A and B are shown apart, each in its own frame.
Chain A
Amino acid sequence: MTDTRFTLLIAAVLAALWLAGRLVSNEYVFFVGYAVAQYILLATAWNILGGYAGYINFGTAAFFALGAYVSVALHKLIAAPLPVLILAGGLASGALGLLMGGLTLKLRGVFFGIATLALAIVFQAIITNWEYVGGSSGAYVLRPAAGPWGGTYVEYLFYVMLLMAGGAVALARGIERSSIGFGLTSIRDDETASEASGVPTLRLKLLATMLSGALMGMAGAPLPFYVAYLDPPSAFNLSYAVNTIAMPLVGGTSTWIGPVIGAVLLTSVQQTAMVTISSAVNLLLVGLLMVAFITLAPNGIVGLARGQWRGRSRQQAPPEKIAE
Chain B
Amino acid sequence: MLDPIAVLNAVAAGVLLGGFYAAVALGIAIAFGMLDIPNLSHPAFVVMGAFATWQLNSHFALDPVLAGLIMAPPFFLLGLVVYRLYHVCFERRGEAALQGLAFFFGVLFITEVVLVLAAGADYRSVVAPYIGTSLTFGSIILPERMLVPFAVSLAMIVLLHLFLVRSFAGRAIQAVSQDQEALRLMGVSPTRIKSLAFGLATATAAVAGSLLIVVEPVEPSIGRDFIGRAFAAVVLGGMGSFYGMLLASILLGITESIVSDMWNPSWAPAIAFGFLLPTLAFRSSGLLGRRL
When C-beta atoms are compared, the residue in chain B nearest to A188 turns out to be: B98
Q: Is B159 an interface residue (CB 8 A)?
A: no
When C-beta atoms are compared, the residue in chain B nearest to A108 turns out to be: B97
- Given A115-B280, A129-B264, A56:B109 Cβ within 8 A: no
Interfacial chain B residues near A194, Cβ < 8 Å: none
**In the complex the two chains form, what is the Cα distance from A114 to B40 in whole Å?**
8
**In the complex the two chains form, what is the Cα distance from A298 to B231 in whole Å?**
27
Given A115-B280, A122-B269, A242-B106, list of 17 further CB < 8 A pairs? A56-B101, A109-B101, A110-B97, A111-B235, A111-B284, A113-B101, A117-B228, A121-B270, A121-B272, A121-B273, A125-B269, A246-B106, A280-B113, A287-B109, A287-B113, A290-B102, A295-B89
- Given A280-B117, A294-B99, A103:B89 Cβ within 8 A: no
How far, in Å, is A114 (CB) from chain B's closest CB?
5
Interfacial chain A residues near B182, Cβ < 8 Å: none
- Given A54-B98, A110-B101, A125:B266 Cβ within 8 A: yes
Partner of A291, one of B95, B103, B114, B117: B103
Q: Is A317 an interface residue (CB 8 A)?
A: no
Interfacial chain B residues near A118, Cβ < 8 Å: 227-228, 231-232, 272-273, 276-277
How far, in Å, is B120 (CB) from chain A's closest CB?
10
**In the complex the two chains form, what is the Cα distance from A24 to B232 in whole Å?**
51
Interfacial chain A residues near B290, Cβ < 8 Å: none
**In the complex the two chains form, what is the Cα distance from A290 to B113 in whole Å?**
14
Which residues 276-299 in A have Cβ within 8 Å of B in the complex? 280-281, 283-284, 286-288, 290-291, 294-295, 298
B38 and A291 contact, CB distance less than 8 A: no
Interfacial chain B residues near A104, Cβ < 8 Å: 277, 280-281
When C-beta atoms are compared, the residue in chain A nearest to B266 turns out to be: A128
B98 and A56 contact, CB distance less than 8 A: yes
For chain B, give the interface size range.
35 or more
**In the complex the two chains form, what is the Cα distance from A178 to B276 in whole Å?**
35
How far, in Å, is B44 (CB) from chain A's closest CB?
11
Q: Is A263 an interface residue (CB 8 A)?
A: no
**In the complex the two chains form, what is the Cα distance from A206 to B270 in whole Å?**
24
B231 and A114 contact, CB distance less than 8 A: yes
Q: Is B107 an interface residue (CB 8 A)?
A: yes
Residues of A within 8 A of B (CB): 54-56, 58, 103-104, 107-111, 113-115, 117-119, 121-122, 124-126, 128-129, 136, 238, 242, 245-246, 249, 280-281, 283-284, 286-288, 290-291, 294-295, 298
- Given A129-B266, A136-B266, A281:B98 Cβ within 8 A: no
Interfacial chain B residues near A111, Cβ < 8 Å: 235, 280, 284
**In the complex the two chains form, what is the Cα distance from A238 to B43 in whole Å?**
15
Q: Is B141 an interface residue (CB 8 A)?
A: no
A283 and B109 contact, CB distance less than 8 A: yes
- Given A103-B281, A107-B280, A284-B113, A119:B273 Cβ within 8 A: yes
B103 and A294 contact, CB distance less than 8 A: yes
> Could you write out 13 A-B pairs with CB less than 8 Å apart?
A107-B280, A107-B284, A110-B101, A114-B38, A118-B273, A121-B269, A125-B266, A125-B267, A125-B269, A125-B270, A129-B267, A284-B113, A291-B103
B277 and A55 contact, CB distance less than 8 A: no
B106 and A294 contact, CB distance less than 8 A: yes
Q: Is B155 an interface residue (CB 8 A)?
A: no
**In the complex the two chains form, what is the Cα distance from A162 to B89 in whole Å?**
37
How far, in Å, is B223 (CB) from chain A's closest CB?
11
- Given A129-B266, A291-B107, A294-B106, A117:B40 Cβ within 8 A: yes
